[in-house]
Every structure is written in structure tokens, then in C-alpha cells.
Amino acid sequence: DAEITQSPRHKITETGRQVTLACHQTWNHNNMFWYRQDLGHGLRLIHYSYGVQDTNKGEVSDGYSVSRSNTEDLPLTLESAASSQTSVYFCASSATGYGYTFGSGTRLTVV
Amino acid sequence: AQTVTQSQPEMSVQEAETVTLSCTYDTSESDYYLFWYKQPPSRQMILVIRQEAYKQQNATENRFSVNFQKAAKSFSLKISDSQLGDAAMYFCAYRSANTGTASKLTFGTGTRLQVTL
């Protein structure tokens, strides 16, 4: 069965370290997204991609980057982790015109 | 930019009763999609129901139905015969049908639903 997987499920890192969160989907979806979830804010869009080599900034992109070298993967990198980036991160994918499929999320704690 | 507002941070319902979660949105577009997602403690995001703006008929999925009022920009979720398994965070979300921005979902802040015996 097709799926979207995120890893790791939990991570603790130190302030200033570079961190990469993985997202892999086997749906063959063109569109992929990264959101962060914080209490009182819902889910906010960080970055998104409509296809290979395409990346775009969302509403809360500062301090984050993504790259899309193939259809299946959209890794999210925190260049220099900050305590404000402690959050739950969701990856999602969709085919154009259809709904989203979400990963199970990564809880990131920056200490 | 589109915004989605959920004004009820928390709601409570007794088992077997009916509860309605509110959602309003702001957009200048005429063609779009609206969604309700459920997030149980497992953290998984589960699509509950979807509504196309061009359809006047309210969407229904088993015990879940919506009241879509396009002119009022309102999209409420009604859960009938509430069950303990309905306890979760519920998110309302908007997506444009414009092909240039078609795939981005904008979420509300969520409503936490508690189901009591």
C-alpha cells in the first residue's frame, strides 16, 4: 500500500545544531508540504513543492529549508535550531485537485 | 490571503448526543474546498469530510455532516450520536480551487472535543 512516512517520530536536539527531518511518500504525488503544529496556531505552512526541483516558502519559512531532488522525498532542514522551533512537524502530500495525505508527525524539542 | 477561524477552543458533549463545531473563513474567491480534519491523541490527521464550494448540497459522511453557508462564509461540523472515539482535536481547513495555488491548505486553530459518559 502507498504511504507517507516521517522520521524520526521524536527528536531532541541542542540549540544551534542543524537538524533534518525526513519525509518519504510512495503515492507518486507531485505536491508535498511541511507544516508545523503549535497550540493556539493550528497548522502553519513552512515550505511546499509542486514537483522535482520546485520549492516555495510558506508563511513561517524563516530558519527552514527544503530540497526536492525526486518525487518521493522532501526533507526539511533547520539550519540552526532555535527553541522557538520546538514543535510538531507534519509532512503531507497530494495529487493536484485532491485531498492531502499526512504523515504521522515528528515531535522536535530544541533544548 | 485566506483565513480560517475556529472560535471554540474546547467543546464538550455527552455520549450519544449531538454537537456542532463552528468554522468561519474569509476569502475573495468563489471556487474553493473546505475540509474538517480530526486529530486523535495518536497525532494522525484524518480527513472527516470535504465540501466543494460550488455544490449547494451539504456533505454528509455517516454521523458527520456540515452546514455550509457560502454567503456567510460559515462551515460548521455536526457530529450526531457522539461516541467516545470522537474525542479529538478538530481542524477546519480551506483550499483554493485556483490552479496556481490549488494545493495549499489553510487551517484554523482547532477545537478540542471532549466526549463524556
Interface of A with B (CB under 8 A): 31, 33, 35, 40-45, 48, 50, 58, 88, 90, 92, 94, 96-97, 99-100, 102, 104-105
Q: Whole-angstrom Cα distance, residue B68 to residue A82?
A: 41
Q: What separation in angstroms does the CA of B89 have from each of A95, A102, B50, B112?
A: 25, 15, 17, 4
pLDDT of residue A95: 81
Residue A2 CB neighbour total at 10 angstroms? 10
Terminal Cα distance for chain A, rounded = 37
**Is A104's CB within 8 Å of B99's CB?**
no
pLDDT of residue A97: 62
CB contact at 8 A, A21 and A4: no
Helix (H, G, I), strand (E, B) or coil at A31: strand
- Percent of chain B's residues with pLDDT above 70: 97
pLDDT of residue A17: 98
CB contact at 8 A, B40 and B84: no
Q: Whole-angstrom Cα distance, residue B39 to residue B48?
A: 10
Q: Which residue of B has its CA nearest to A91?
A: B45
Q: Dihedrals φ, ψ of A94, to 5°?
A: -155, 150
Break chain A down into helix, strand, coil percent, rounded to 5: 5, 55, 45
- Quickly state the pLDDT bin for B56 (edges 50, 70, 90): confident
Q: What is the mean pLDDT of residues A53-81?
A: 96
User: Chain B partners of A100 at a C-beta cutoff of 8 Å?
Assistant: 45, 47, 105
- CA distance, residue B17 to nearest chain A CA (Å): 26
pLDDT tens per residue, range A21-31: 999 999 999 99
pLDDT of residue B115: 97
Q: What separation in angstroms does the CA of B19 have from each of A29, A76, B52, B80?
A: 35, 38, 23, 7
- Percent of chain A's residues with pLDDT above 70: 97
Q: What is the mean pLDDT of residues A81-109?
A: 92
pLDDT of residue B99: 65
pLDDT of residue A21: 98
User: Chain B partners of A90 at a C-beta cutoff of 8 Å?
Assistant: 45
Terminal Cα distance for chain B, rounded = 41
> Is pLDDT above 80 for A54?
yes
Residue labelled with grid coordinates 519525509 = A23
pLDDT of residue B75: 97
Q: Tell me, yes or no, if B104 comes closer than 8 A to chain A by beta carbon.
A: yes
pLDDT tens per residue, range A30-45: 999 999 999 888 999 9
Q: What is the mean pLDDT of residues B10-32?
A: 96
pLDDT tens per residue, range B77-113: 999 999 999 999 999 999 988 766 557 899 999 999 9
> Is pLDDT above 80 for A98?
no
DSSP string computed for B51-79: EETT--SPPEETTEEEEEETTTTEEEEEE
pLDDT of residue B101: 54
